[in-house]
Structure 1
Amino acid sequence: MNVETRRLRLRPVDSTDVDALVFLDSDPEVMRFVSDGRPTPRAEISDWVIPRARAELSTGRGGMWIAIDQRYQAFLGWVLLRAPRHSQRSEMELSYRLRRDTWGRGLATEAARAVVGLAFDELHTERVFASTTLRNSSSRRVMEKLGMRVSGVRAGGDHLGRRYEHAHGNRDNLGELEYELLRHHWEALVMGADARRHQVMNLPA
């Protein structure tokens, strides 16, 4: 399933993307909050990442979409949905990774918003969640721009509660945040965006 946005074309990952994915994961800054800067081995990408993503796409349990620049047809990165294997909830995990030279342009938000819409509208999930480290302010900003809310905090693998309050001490001493977006929140956001567009289109000349 291909998805198009204003600036991006998102298409399912395939075996021809190995080189691009290896190149992406070879940038220590891209991998800073993923693996402390270590690159992903090529065999892991070709033998596990791509086959698993394609299998998930074929069963309607998510998948990985390659982000292509609409104007120049260049590889920019990827965005992914994955259904947790041991969860009993109707939920999907969101993740994304883009080339460093694309950062700061809102492309991660644009790609993520497109597949979140896919998760709710086509895959009929009830909840989309994503996790990031407290130090990764850029990733947190993407999640917040999507309308996601903090649903949990982890430090050293320990769950510290379903709700995170900013008054709970120094965030730098904690490890990881989980964000979530529920179906009814997403529908309210979409309805609000549609209403704003309608108002703009009907402004008097």
Structure 2
Amino acid sequence: MVLRGFAESDVDAVAWLLGEPRVMRHIEDGKPVSREDVARVVLPKVMGGGWWAAHLKVPGVPGVSAAEGPFIGWFELSPVDGGVAELGYRLHPDFWGRGYATEGAAALVEHTRAVGLRRVVAYAMAVNTGSRRVMEKVGLTYVRTFHEEWPDYIEGAEHGDVEYALDLRG
């Protein structure tokens, strides 16, 4: 897998990802995002840094760069404050269960170590067991369950959200 910065040409790939109901069911309002909103709101945000487009490598194909392989999703490592970064990821369901989320998340956790950050945090809906497993596999541990008010009901929201964290400095 290759992680690279986003470009304007990624609008269709991001619309494909965020237009998938299974990707969005545990995120924000639980609804797919339109291509227009991707172009107007999402893409400018992810092009601002802290987000990486994830592509599969294409082995043995002359003239094809690794970043031109299939787009599978994105990874996020956003600064929060005081040496803390938030880890996030969204993969298209065609690529779930293959270890890609763990691979990308582990790479970003290692990046936080290399740049001297002190803590990584991640959040998910409590019912999102797949995301929670990824957090645990890359070394984050459960911190708490909390409840937030959302304008629209998302199935499973009654169970709350969870916070996981990894302290990088003993």
What TM-score comes out, normalization by structure 2 length? Answer: 0.82
Aligned partners of 2:37, 2:51: CA distance in 1, in Å?
A: 15
Which letter does structure 2 place at the counterpart of 1:149?
Answer: T
Which letter does structure 2 place at the counterpart of 1:179?
Answer: Y
User: Unpaired segments of 5 or more residues in structure 1?
Assistant: 1-7, 58-62, 158-171, 186-205
Aligned partners of 2:147, 2:128: CA distance in 1, in Å?
A: 15
Shift of 1:35: 4.0
The equivalent residue for 1:165 is none
The equivalent residue for 1:177 is 162
Please state whether the residue corresponding to 1:184 is helix, strand or coil: coil
Aligned residues: 155
User: Unpaired segments of 5 or more residues in structure 2?
Assistant: 60-68, 150-156
Greater shift, 38-47 or 67-76, is seen at 38-47
Please state whether the residue corresponding to 2:123 is helix, strand or coil: strand
Residue 32 of structure 2 corresponds to residue 45 of structure 1: no
The equivalent residue for 1:78 is 74
The equivalent residue for 1:191 is none
The equivalent residue for 2:125 is 133
User: Greater helix share, 1 or 2?
Assistant: 1
Aligned partners of 2:32, 2:25: CA distance in 1, in Å?
A: 10
Q: Deviations over 1:60-89 (max 9, x none)?
A: xxx1111111137111101011112xx4x2
Name the CA shift for 1:47/1:177 in 2 (closer, same or farther; >3 Å): same
Please state whether the residue corresponding to 1:70 is helix, strand or coil: coil
Residue 65 of structure 2 corresponds to residue 69 of structure 1: no
What TM-score comes out, normalization by structure 1 length? Answer: 0.69
Q: Pick from 47, 57, 74 the counterpart of residue 54 of structure 1.
A: 47
Aligned partners of 2:142, 2:23: CA distance in 1, in Å?
A: 23
| Higher Rg of the two aligned structures | 1
Which letter does structure 2 place at the counterpart of 1:100?
Answer: P
Q: Pick from 113, 126, 131 the counterpart of residue 106 of structure 2.
A: 113
For the 8 Å contact 2:126–2:145, the answer to whether it is kept is no
Shift of 1:49: 2.8
Shift of 1:41: 3.1
Shift of 1:45: 2.5
Aligned partners of 1:173, 1:139: CA distance in 2, in Å?
A: 18
Aligned partners of 2:158, 2:39: CA distance in 1, in Å?
A: 36
For the 8 Å contact 1:152–1:177, the answer to whether it is kept is yes
Shift of 1:143: 0.2
For the 8 Å contact 2:6–2:53, the answer to whether it is kept is yes
Shift of 1:54: 3.0
Name the CA shift for 1:35/1:173 in 2 (closer, same or farther; >3 Å): closer
CA-atom RMSD, angstroms?
2.1
Identical aligned residues as a percent: 36
Shift of 1:26: 1.1
